[in-house]
Structure 1
């Protein structure tokens, strides 16, 4: 079998990998649940390639993400649920339906009016979906209410941001950043108390409250918390790499270095960044 730009070849490859008798032993035993984390990981790798502005990597990572769509679709087809073609049909129908200003007739001619129209169409789709699910006996409890449109399956940091943005639409929000800083200090105190009490469940609960408050301050100061954290992760990688290379130049190892020695090198990395204006 040869590579091709035709999507049908990728579908054929996945079908071959999943063949019980002749396929790949690893691919054959996978389920929606076992590949779910790989799907999330591939989405993050796409974001990483975009952040690094690496177009070669972006092309490859988009392919990996597409493979996940084909993989899930193949499992669903084997179970008689839906096929890749159904996935394509659903998304093309959605795009046509949500863009009447392009594919039909609509007065929406600015980004703002298009956004209003998009939200109205989504709301109607949600009502229709809820009716279909209710008719089929599927519970919608976790999707009920004003916050029901915020998906629970996305990363917790993103979900927190979306929940806050949704609540803010009806005025349930701080009017300025300063009170949120007070809230963060309050959550830190409660986390300290929970840690002193030695109750792991309480510590976990208070840690979640603190992170939620930090997301909130990020939203108010227009600093996307996901991007902010990714920036810090990059900085941590860079500084830790400085520690590692500096130790190697002195014939030392990470395992053999003391915390004090590594902290000195960390501060040296910070100083270098400061000189470079980073």
Structure 2
């Protein structure tokens, strides 16, 4: 009998059936922690894409796909005797209670919820202190310890810079960052003109790192900013290509000057709509 609405318990049961040696799905049974990591990353980006597009009709579906990744890991963990879904939930709730003493001063979910710190700066200071203590308990004594190597490079750069800034290693304001960007551009030009490709690669990395620093000072997520720029470029390029197709031509057939004129026309049309 089909249920009116399924629950998390149904999802856990479904996952166990998919992994069952007796009548389960051959593909699901072959998977491991490592093999589903790419899917997890992909699903997380699809959630981000739906949010940025304000596609709320499909967001709940994308969130479900991401949740399924957690359920999959939980089943793998249960089979291997490492952990199960209840352990994931318990660990998460305990961590959130520990990191929100301003809401749960007793450390209990249903205890006295009269908080202490009420301003945002105080909350952030508490949060960072608690996280630092957690890292210390894991043996991560260095300021930059524990920043995941698997993060996208722009995101990891922002996290490394934030950690350093928390201990005072930072520019006083964005003007210093902008000066640094100009300095890195000059050094990149010099490396390019010298023909030293290895030096140019290094200087380009320094420039990107400085741009991430500018994003951090502007309180802009660099990954989000670059994704938005990618979408803008894609939209404009498609418009240029469509314009040429209407003339029976390809982008490769047009001169750079003509392409630039079409590009500027697309930009002007965007500005008029705005």
| TM-score bin, normalised by smaller chain | 0.7 to 0.9
The Cα of 1:149 is off from its aligned counterpart by 4.9
Aligned 1:239-250 pairs, distance under 5 A: 239-250=236-247
C-alpha distance after superposition, 1:232-265 (max 9, x if no partner): 1121121022123223322334565555554332
**Is 1:210 aligned to residue 219 of structure 2?**
no
Moved more, 172-181 or 50-59: 172-181
The Cα of 1:100 is off from its aligned counterpart by 3.3
**Is 1:22 aligned to residue 23 of structure 2?**
yes
The Cα of 1:56 is off from its aligned counterpart by 1.4
The Cα of 1:211 is off from its aligned counterpart by 0.6
Counterpart among 111, 124, 137 of residue 115 in structure 1: 124
The Cα of 1:99 is off from its aligned counterpart by 2.8
The Cα of 1:67 is off from its aligned counterpart by 0.8
d(CA) in 2 for partners of 1:169, 1:271: 42
The Cα of 1:64 is off from its aligned counterpart by 0.9
Counterpart of 1:272 in structure 2 is 269
**Is 1:190 aligned to residue 187 of structure 2?**
yes
Distance 1:200 1:10, change over 3 A: farther
C-alpha distance after superposition, 1:165-220 (max 9, x if no partner): 22122322222333333322332343345445666554433322111011112223
C-alpha distance after superposition, 1:67-101 (max 9, x if no partner): 11111222222222111221111111212232334
Distance 1:5 1:253, change over 3 A: farther
Instruction: Judging by fraction of residues, say which structure has more helix.
Output: 1
Distance 1:26 1:108, change over 3 A: same
Aligned 1:64-75 pairs, distance under 5 A: 64-75=65-76
Aligned length: 265
The Cα of 1:14 is off from its aligned counterpart by 2.1
Distance 1:202 1:25, change over 3 A: farther
Structure 1: any 5+ residue segments left out of the alignment?
131-142
Counterpart of 1:58 in structure 2 is 59
d(CA) in 1 for partners of 2:22, 2:230: 44
Counterpart of 1:87 in structure 2 is 88
SS at structure 2 position matched to 1:32: coil
TM-score of the superposed pair, with normalisation by structure 2 = 0.82
Counterpart of 1:136 in structure 2 is none
Counterpart of 1:76 in structure 2 is 77
Counterpart of 1:172 in structure 2 is 169
SS at structure 2 position matched to 1:264: helix
Moved more, 170-179 or 79-88: 170-179
What's the RMSD between the two structures over aligned residues? 2.8
Distance 1:114 1:245, change over 3 A: same
The Cα of 1:2 is off from its aligned counterpart by 5.5
d(CA) in 2 for partners of 1:2, 1:84: 25
Q: Judge conservation of contact 2:103–2:116 (CA < 8 Å) in 1.
A: no
**Is 1:163 aligned to residue 160 of structure 2?**
yes
Structure 2: any 5+ residue segments left out of the alignment?
107-111
d(CA) in 1 for partners of 2:83, 2:194: 51
